[in-house]
Amino acid sequence: MSVIEVKQLVKHYGDVRAVDGVDLSVSAGEVFALLGPNGAGKSTAVEILEGYRSKTSGSVSVLGHDPAKAGRAYRERIGIVLQETAVEEQLTVEEAIDLYGSMYPNRRRTGELIELVGLEEKTNSRIKTLSGGQRRRLELALGIVGDPELIFLDEPTTGFDPSARRQAWSIVENLTSLGKTVLLTTHYMDEAQYLADRVAVIARGKIVAEGTPDTLGGRETAKTLITFQSNDQSIDGLPSDDVSLSENGRVTVRSANPTSDLYRITGWAIDHGVELAGLSVSRPSLEDVYLELTGEKADV
């Protein structure tokens, strides 16, 4: 069953085509991640789905509603963590969760949420005294206080320390184990890799690729990279077709058959007394594919 159906969504701000013909379909129970550089149109698209921004054109259906016209019944079924939130600074953590919770019929308990996001020690602290990461944790708690079916998370873990990020991931996993649907944006490729069932890369308002984290941009069929440091030894006669040598002496072999290529390369090295220093075998990471797709790959 489809929870989000978007066709040819367009949003213009004056001359800026922030979202420029986006199609999206997210099924119930799925974690869908939107990746893309700063200004790509992620927040704009997500906030249109939330009902926070108006669209220029296109069709949007979320939980069977048009978010632009939907009222309270819709809001009670969704949870939102905006990229930037204005929470009343004078409230304590506990008061803020109580206040937000009072707006929902099926609210989760305040104590349970505080524990879930790891803010026990800050229960009675005013929001204005929280660190950036602590505030973001509170915002995550506020986003799920209404026990929503569908949760929008716009860069939920920005500013989190590594252990808080893992904790947030397990909160998301916990939500999906309860059958909830999650639409998230992130700049962290490991986050998308870990959490998402499907990802879409958006650049300049358009979706440039979509797939599972493992298959995006042909990743599963991409060549394996076998690299090592040549250390002034000659690599003449290295038994491979696609060999390149960088200025710093790093040898890279691109291989479609890594098992046999590795066998031949290591055999050659032993026969010639060559030490394959720093030998590594890798597939393109999600980040490599992402940088390729968004044209942001640095020249190296």
Ligand X SMILES: Nc1ncnc2c1ncn2[C@@H]1O[C@H](COP(=O)(O)OP(=O)(O)OP(=O)(O)O)[C@@H](O)[C@H]1O
Residue 285 CA to residue 210 CA, distance in Å, equals: 15
Q: How far apart are the first and last CA of the chain?
A: 45
Residue 157 binding partner per list Mg ion, ligand X, none, with a CB distance cut-off of 5 to 8 Å that depends on partner kind: none
Residue 249 CA to residue 174 CA, distance in Å, equals: 47
Residue 274 binding partner per list ligand X, Mg ion, none, with a CB distance cut-off of 5 to 8 Å that depends on partner kind: none
Residue 41 binding partner per list Mg ion, ligand X, none, with a CB distance cut-off of 5 to 8 Å that depends on partner kind: ligand X
Smallest gap from residue 153 Cβ to ligand X (A): 13
The site that binds Mg ion (CB under 5 A) totals a number of residues, namely 3
Residue 45 CA to residue 55 CA, distance in Å, equals: 9
Residue 294 binding partner per list Mg ion, ligand X, none, with a CB distance cut-off of 5 to 8 Å that depends on partner kind: none
Interface with ligand X (CB under 6 A): 13, 16, 18, 36, 38-44, 83
Tokens of 121: 């020690």
Smallest gap from residue 156 Cβ to ligand X (A): 12
Smallest gap from residue 37 Cβ to ligand X (A): 7
Residue closer to ligand X by CB (options 76, 287) is 287
Smallest gap from residue 46 Cβ to ligand X (A): 8
Residues 123, 112, 103, 170, CA torsion sign:
positive
CB 51, CB 63: distance < 8 Å: no
Phi, psi values for residue 142, rounded to 5°: -65, -30
Residue closer to ligand X by CB (options 35, 226) is 35
* Sole binder of Mg ion in the list 43, 110, 157, 181 (CB under 5 A): 43
- List Cα–Cα distances, 300 to 155, 248, 290, in angstroms: 28, 11, 16
Residue 40 binding partner per list Mg ion, ligand X, none, with a CB distance cut-off of 5 to 8 Å that depends on partner kind: ligand X
Residue 13 binding partner per list Mg ion, ligand X, none, with a CB distance cut-off of 5 to 8 Å that depends on partner kind: ligand X
Smallest gap from residue 277 Cβ to ligand X (A): 39
Residue closer to ligand X by CB (options 67, 101) is 67
Binding residues among 70-129 for Mg ion as defined by CB under 5 A: 83
Name the residue whose CB lies closest to Mg ion.
43
Residue closer to ligand X by CB (options 206, 283) is 206
Residue 190 CA to residue 154 CA, distance in Å, equals: 16
Residue 44 binding partner per list ligand X, Mg ion, none, with a CB distance cut-off of 5 to 8 Å that depends on partner kind: ligand X
CB 249, CB 274: distance < 8 Å: no
Smallest gap from residue 200 Cβ to Mg ion (A): 14
Smallest gap from residue 199 Cβ to ligand X (A): 14
Smallest gap from residue 57 Cβ to ligand X (A): 16
Residue closer to Mg ion by CB (options 123, 158) is 158
Tokens 């905006």 appear where?
82
List helix spans (H) across the chain: 42-50, 72-75, 93-101, 110-116, 132-144, 162-177, 189-195, 258-272, 286-294
Q: What is the DSSP string of 70-104?
A: --HHHHTTEEEE-SS----TTSBHHHHHHHHHTT-
Q: Which residues contact 194 (CB under 8 A, 6 or more apart)?
A: 169
Residue 215 binding partner per list Mg ion, ligand X, none, with a CB distance cut-off of 5 to 8 Å that depends on partner kind: none
Binding footprint of Mg ion on the chain (CB under 5 A)? 42-43, 83
